[in-house]
Amino acid sequence: MFRKSILSFLITIIGGCFIFAYLSVFSGQRGILAESTPVVSNVSDNQTTSITVSPIAPLSAGNNSTTVVEDIINGRLTGNIFTAESDNLTVLLVDKSTENLYVVGIDSDKPALKSIFNVYTGKSPGDKIKAGDMKTPEGIYFIQKYIQSGSLNNAIFGGAGAFTLNYPNVYDRNYGKTGYGIWIHGRGSDKPDERTKGCVSLNDKDLNILKNHVVVETPVIISHQLDFLNPSEYSVEKDKYFKMFDDYVASLQNKKYDEFKEYFDESFKDSNGLELKDYLLNLKEATTNKKIQLDVSGLTIFKENNSELMYQYKEFYCADKITNGTRRLYLHKKDDDKYKIIAEEFYPNGSIEVLLYEQINQLIDNWRKSWLNKDIDKYISYYSKSFSTKGMNLVGWKRYKQRVFEKSTIKDISINDLTIVYDKNTNEIFATFNQRYVSNSVDDKGVKTLIVEGCPGNFKIKAEEWGDVKELVTVSQKKTAIKASF
């Protein structure tokens, strides 16, 4: 059981983040004061909270800002964000050279600057490489959680809480960077005007404003110096990065494996540590005899500076397996000015069963209607060439059903209580339902399972099972079924 400490302790940890040097925004004077790294006392996941978000509205510049937003950008757009279909996105941009934090929204797929705050970053200049180097990391990160002020030493962190970042991310780890505990936090009375050991700090008033517009997974781009482009420059950059992505997707869809390989850096590793050679070999072996269906949407491009780039997008993939989720590709600019993928991450989104339910339900309904109408060619078109059941292949099954159709007067075929299960190991979908078949000579009730293969738009039945109502035991029911409700 969690116990709240009576006393607040200050524990020094190398690789932490907190305030280290004095910075005066208005005078430009800086002083250095040693400070041990702050640590959250007795913090557990149960003490982190999500943030209730208000709709983003244009905000005035923070109280400590040196100028208003309009005077800073002069009609320019930040060249660190490029989007398609992402109008609800909010991004935080941190410019270490000016020590400003920008809140950026997306309006008609163009970045719109909403607010600016002065911040303090790490004591030492440059990108963070290792624990204890007093540097703020430069890269593309995401908010992981919010820590309530009650779990922090308020004399150091202030009373507005803190946001944690996912440093080191997979890109950083592939480059061997170390360290941890990089936050966006407030400032307490003990350290109101000092730089940090790697974190980004704001005064409490500004952080309280900021946190009304931040949720878990809000992107945070930290750069030595952000890019601001005029509208024509922005369009040229956006077109360039989008074309590169479109060409990447086309090379995969068309299984041009040699061309696809050229998009990757030799030092590439995926989130599981799989190196490029094995990654490409696995892909080729799994898809050589299969059509690749790849649907992408919601593409967003994050650019840290002239060397690091990320593509984030929603992906539905179907070939050797079916996946649905968000993919992130991390790219690094090489000496020849070409970007290469050095890391990737994939985050599944919901269950495959729920995603495919309507399509499988439609397949079964069309199959049922062709059966009821005794349309043998249409009926057989829903089956895979590899179909087999009761010792019959597809040809034998067609002959058998043709004889049944000719002899029977089908009065009704009803189907209900459909449940589907996706087996990722075999890439098969098990569709189980109650069926009643009524003809001039038969009134039969039971549980049928259709084993389906393929991709949306081209699902085919590869096997089927039939059981008496009393049995209710099929292959699919031995698995953990997920019944979608609509």
By CB atoms closer than 10 A (0-12, 13-18, 19+), residue 120 is: buried
Q: Does 205 fall in a domain?
A: yes
CATH of the domain at 302: 3.10.450.50
162 lies in the same domain as 247: no
Q: Assign residue 222 the CATH number of its domain.
A: 2.40.440.10
User: Could you give the CA distance from residue 78 to residue 339 in angstroms, rounded to a whole number?
Assistant: 20
Q: Does 1 map to a domain?
A: no
Q: Residues 335, 409: one domain? A: no
> What percent of the residues of the chain are helix, what percent strand, and what percent coil, each to the nearest 5?
25, 35, 40
Q: Nearest Cα to 162, choosing from 130, 210, 127?
A: 210
- Residue at 402 is within a domain: yes
Alpha-helical regions (H) of 122-230:
154-157, 170-174, 204-210
367 with 401, same domain?
A: yes
| Phi then psi dihedrals of residue 447, to 5 deg | -115, 125
Determine the 3-state secondary structure of 93 from DSSP: strand
Q: How many domains does the chain have?
A: 3
Residue 235 and residue 213 share a domain: no
Residues 174 and 99 in one domain: yes
Q: Quick check: bond before 168 cis, omega within 30? A: yes
| Residues 159, 163, 164, 169, Cα dihedral to 10° | -150
Q: Which of 348, 382, 415 is the last residue of a domain?
A: 348
Are 361 and 457 in a shared domain?
yes
176 and 311 in a single domain? The answer is no
Q: Amino acid identity, residue 279?
A: Y
Q: What is the pTM of this model?
A: 0.81
Q: Is residue 254 a part of any domain in this protein?
A: yes
The DSSP symbol for 234 reads H
Cβ burial of 12 (10 Å; 0-12, 13-18, 19+) is exposed
- Specify if 90 maps to a domain: yes
pLDDT score at 80 = 95
In angstroms, the Cα distances linking 186 to 4, 133, 161 are 21, 21, 7
pLDDT in tens, the chain (486 residues): 433 333 333 333 334 454 333 333 333 333 222 233 333 333 333 333 333 333 333 344 444 444 445 545 567 889 999 998 776 899 999 999 999 999 999 988 889 989 999 999 999 999 999 999 999 999 999 999 999 999 998 988 889 999 999 999 999 999 999 999 999 999 988 776 788 999 999 999 999 999 888 999 999 999 999 999 999 999 999 999 999 999 999 999 999 999 999 999 999 999 889 999 999 999 999 998 899 999 999 999 999 987 899 999 999 999 999 999 999 999 999 988 899 999 999 999 989 999 999 999 999 999 999 999 999 999 999 999 999 998 999 999 999 999 999 999 999 999 999 999 999 999 999 999 999 999 998 999 999 999 999 999 999 999 999 986 544 444 444 444 444 332
First-to-last C-alpha distance (Å) of the chain = 40
Listed residues 320, 348, 376: the one ending a domain = 348
3-state secondary structure of 380: helix
- Do residues 247 and 394 share a domain? no
Q: Dihedral through CA 264, CA 266, CA 272, CA 274, nearest 10?
A: 110
Total count of residues recorded for the chain: 486
The whole-angstrom separation of Cα 241 and Cα 309 is 9
For 163, half-sphere exposure in the C-beta direction (CA atoms, 13 angstrom radius) is 27
Closest CA to 362 of 239, 486, 231: 486
Q: Is the Cβ–Cβ distance between 343 and 271 less than 8 Å?
A: yes
Q: What is the pLDDT of residue 175?
A: 92
Residue 32 is assigned to a structural domain of this protein: yes
The partner residues of 421 in beta bridges, in order of sequence, read 430
Could you tell me if 162 and 188 are in contact, meaning their C-beta atoms sit under 8 angstroms apart?
A: no
Q: What is the dihedral of CA 438, 443, 448, 453, to 10 degrees?
A: -30
Q: Are residues 218 and 72 in the same domain?
A: yes
Residues 241, 223, single domain; the answer is: no
Phi, psi (deg, nearest 5) at residue 258: -65, -40
258 lies in which domain range? 231-348
Same domain? For 223 and 235 the reply is no
Quick one: pLDDT at residue 156? 85
Q: Token digits for 292?
A: 């690749």
Phi and psi angles of residue 228, each rounded to the nearest 5 degrees, phi first = -125, 125
Domain assignment present for residue 483? The answer is: no
Are residues 258 and 314 both part of a single domain?
yes
Q: How many helices (H) and strands (E) does the chain have?
A: 10, 26
Residue 113 is assigned to a structural domain of this protein: yes
Q: Which residues does residue 429 pair with via DSSP β-bridges, in sequence order?
A: 422, 452
Element (H, E) at 354: helix 352-372
Q: What is the pLDDT of residue 469?
A: 55
198: Cα within 13 Å, side-chain hemisphere: 29
How far, in Å, CA of 428 to CA of 347, rounded?
21
> Domain end: 201, 229, 257, which one?
229
In this predicted structure, what is the pLDDT of residue 157? 87
